[in-house]
Amino acid sequence: MKTDAPFPMMKTKRRKRNRDAFTLVEVMVVLFILLAMAGAGVVAIQGVRERAKRQQAELFVKSMKTPLGLFESQIGRFPTTEEGLDALKQAPSSLPDPSKWDSPFVEPEVSYFDPWGNAYQYMYPGTHSQGKYDLWSMGPDGISDTEDDIGSWK
């Protein structure tokens, strides 16, 4: 049997690839995708956490309006800057008539620290709220009188 083909009936051997494992490139691509998704998730969670901290500070400032108002109605004035918010938990020694201070206006467990770990600031008489008090959190930067402050006058 004669043919014109130079190599008749020559069978080429092909290597069969073993597809039981992933290549390094495939593993790297999957890792890159997972890390990108995780990074996006962390960024999204951080934004939610910061918003929640801000709302927590705003809620504290608003909720202190009631106990400070009760203090004023019983004593006839707001606590002084020196007495501070502690005057809502125990009677200040500077009261002219301590018998007017009836009972604590807030629970002893109430913390006067904002979500960023800084003490809430209190001033009476206030500079922002004339004739009233100023109560504020210094916000995430921990510096007073900056744009991120959360105050009773806002």
Cα dihedral 53, 146, 85, 80, rounded to 10, equals -170
Give the pLDDT band (50/70/90) at residue 11: low
- pLDDT band for position 6 (50/70/90)? low
pLDDT digits (tens, 9 = 90+) for 85-118: 999 999 999 888 888 888 899 999 999 999 999 9
pLDDT in tens, 52-88: 999 999 999 999 999 999 999 999 999 999 999 999 9
The answer to whether 98 touches 87, Cβ cutoff 8 Å, is no
Percent of the chain with pLDDT over 90: 57
Distance of CA 110 to the CA centre of its chain: 18
Strands, E assignment, 2-48:
none
Q: What is residue 69's predicted lDDT score, i.e. its pLDDT?
A: 95
Do the Cβ atoms of 40 and 32 come closer than 8 Å? Answer: no
Does residue 149 contact residue 139 with C-beta atoms inside 8 Å? Answer: yes
Greater pLDDT, 48 or 151: 151
The tally of CA atoms less than 13 A away on the side-chain side of residue 7 is 3
What whole-number distance in Å separates Cα of residue 67 and Cα of residue 142? 25
Q: Report pTM.
A: 0.70
- Residue 134 carries which DSSP code? E
